[in-house]
């Protein structure tokens, strides 16, 4: 059966996996390192026949153009997703919603069929709400862990003058560097918990919480409420989108 190559071009990382008949093949998941184009060519050869590459491309136009040009040389068709451009269970709340945010909502809704909150913890922290009918209500965007920390240290460089050492995000830190490090995690967790509290008031229902993105694993010991951690939400959404066309 033909394979679809799924590529998530994020603000700071490029991730990929293969899908067959709309099903994500997790064993094929990877992310870009040195030799990106060679890696993509190897995937195309290894999983031939690849009928097309399905892309979520938020930014980095030059990177998108370079990737699509190299895939075209490999005789792979290109399908670049835009939010709401095909029928998926959860429709975007407004035009211009980031494609990654839209795609990340699809798999959680398919699994829970109930009210949910999805937090993507990457370069930005995005938080989105879906109600019990599968309607996207919108969400929030703020600086992610490293963007917030880098911004703080750029404005107050004196805070970066000592090694961090060990810290626990849920307890007061005993050094300045540890306080900065722990504060970043506390800020992420606090934003998600605040959004959960507001969601409970808006929806008057149980909220399933899903977290994804590069910093999601570190939140497991900080968040007070249970959360499903799935690092593949955008790729799962891409797989679902691939099946619709």
Q: HEC string of 48-99? A: CCEEEEEEEECCCHHHHHHHHHHHHHCCCEEEECCCCCCCCCCCCCCCCCCH
The mean-pLDDT minimum among 73-77, 101-105, 151-155, 164-168 falls in 164-168
pLDDT at 161 over 70: no
CA 203 to chain centre: 24
At 114 the pLDDT is 92
pLDDT at 54 over 90: yes
Choose between 79 and 11: higher pLDDT. Answer: 79
Cis, bond preceding 40 (omega within 30 deg of 0)? no
What's the whole-model pTM score?
0.93
Question: Cα-flanking dihedrals φ and ψ of residue 141, to 5°?
Answer: -130, 135
Query: How many residues belong to the chain?
Result: 245
pLDDT band at 61 (very low <50, low <70, confident <90, very high): confident
At 163 the pLDDT is 65
What CA–CA distance (Å, rounded) separates 134 from 5?
Answer: 27
Contact predicate 98/105, CB 8 Å: no
Q: Which residues is 34 bridged to in the sheet?
A: none
User: Does 100 participate in catalysis according to the annotation?
Assistant: yes
For 178-214, the pLDDT digits (tens) are 899 889 999 999 999 999 999 988 887 889 999 999 9
What CA–CA distance (Å, rounded) separates 173 from 181?
Answer: 9
CA atoms within 13 A on the CB side of 5: 30
Average pLDDT, the chain: 91
Q: Give percent above pLDDT 70 in the chain.
A: 97
At 43 the pLDDT is 86
Pairing of strands 208-212, 23-31: unpaired
From the list 100, 120, 128, 215, the catalytic residue is 100
Could you give the dihedral angle defined by the CA atoms of residues 226, 227, 229 and 232, in that order, rounded to the nearest 10 degrees? 160
- Count of helices and strands (H, E) across the chain: 7, 10
Contact predicate 142/129, CB 8 Å: no
For 71-125, the pLDDT digits (tens) are 998 899 999 999 999 999 999 999 999 999 999 999 999 999 999 999 999 999 9
Choose between 36 and 76: higher pLDDT. Answer: 76
Task: Give the chain's domains with CATH numbers.
Answer: 3-80 (3.30.420.40), 91-233 (3.30.420.40)
As given in the structure block, the two tokens for residue 149 are 């920390």
């Amino acid at each position: 059966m033909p394979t679809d190559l799924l590529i998530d071009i994020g603000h700071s990382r490029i991730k990929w996996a293969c899908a067959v008949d709309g099903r994500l093949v997790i064993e094929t998941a990877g992310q870009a390192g040195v030799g990106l184009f060679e890696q993509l060519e190897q995937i195309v050869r290894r999983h031939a026949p690849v009928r097309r590459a399905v892309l979520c491309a938020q930014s980095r136009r030059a990177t998108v153009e370079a990737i699509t040009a190299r895939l075209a040389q490999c005789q792979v068709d290109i399908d670049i997703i835009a939010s709401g451009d095909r029928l998926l269970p959860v429709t975007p709340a407004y035009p211009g919603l980031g494609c990654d945010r839209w795609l990340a909502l699809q798999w959680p809704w398919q699994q829970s069929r109930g009210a949910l909150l999805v937090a993507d913890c990457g370069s930005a922290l995005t938080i989105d709400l879906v109600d019990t009918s599968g309607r996207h209500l919108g969400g929030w965007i703020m600086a992610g862990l490293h963007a917030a920390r880098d911004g703080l240290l750029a404005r107050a460089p004196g805070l970066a003058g000592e090694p961090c050492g060990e810290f626990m995000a849920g307890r007061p830190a005993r050094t300045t560097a540890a306080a900065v490090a722990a504060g970043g995690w506390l800020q992420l967790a606090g934003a998600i918990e605040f959004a959960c509290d507001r969601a409970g008031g808006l929806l008057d229902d149980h909220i399933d919480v899903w977290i994804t993105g590069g910093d999601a694993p570190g939140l497991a010991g900080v968040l007070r409420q249970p959360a499903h951690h799935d690092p593949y939400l955008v790729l799962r959404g891409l797989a679902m989108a691939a099946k619709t066309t």
